[in-house]
Structure 1
Amino acid sequence: MEKGLGPWIGGSAILASMCCLPSVIWVLFAGSSAIVAADQLSNDLYYSWVRWALYAASASMLTIGMVIYHRSKGICTLDDAIRNRRVVLNTALATFTIAIVTYLVWNFLILEILGIAVGLPWEDSAFWN
């Protein structure tokens, strides 16, 4: 069965949002007693070098996924990639665009709403304010 780039895109979006996702999960499992610690964890992860490391790991994950995808389609060498550069470029642009949009929706909409719903003090810094 052939797999596309969907799992790579979804995985990279989840990986890029790992500065906020653990806080939401922590409060879901630990309850309201963990709100302050979970908020501090998300602030420490988001406003440090960790966020950029997660972005780099996500970009690497997408790149590896595209290499595996193109190799499964018969584009195995650099000469094959040059011959099929339009396909490779269009796939790369579409993949990175979809991954960024998926990350933005997942992190700044879904996780933001979930975090506010479980009691994390994120409402003042929400993008809609």
Structure 2
Amino acid sequence: MSWQSYVDEQICKQVECTFAAIAGIQDGSIWAKLEKDDKKLDPKELKTIADTMRQNPTGFYETGIHIGGEKYICLQAENQLVRGRYRSSALCIVATNTCLIVAATVDGFPPGQLNNVIEKLGEYLRSNNY
């Protein structure tokens, strides 16, 4: 399965996203993505997120999570999981051994469904050494 298929079939068919991506954890390079509503993902933002998750995830509580041109309020920050909120849009980011999985919902979409989908995909990729 291609990385784009993971974004399209495993994330976006289950979650109404404004953006979703799988990116390299070392450099933030985007392997696959979906961007809507003028949301643009920047590899530099993704690299900063990955570095912060590894080195000081609680730093997100002070700085927020900057992605897709927005600043999300940090709700949870750990080495492998970050959750955020912007208005009524939810954000979930999962780090695996080699990649970041990121997705944000449209306003009003249930955050629990987003978290479930992204976290399960992260567990699956980790179990397959990604």
TM-score range, shorter chain: under 0.3
> Which of structures 1 and 2 has the larger relative contact order (alpha carbons within 8 angstroms, sep 6+)?
1
Whose helix proportion is higher, 1 or 2? 1
Whose strand proportion is higher, 1 or 2? 2
Structure number with larger C-alpha Rg = 1
In the superposition, the TM-score normalised over structure 2's length comes to 0.24
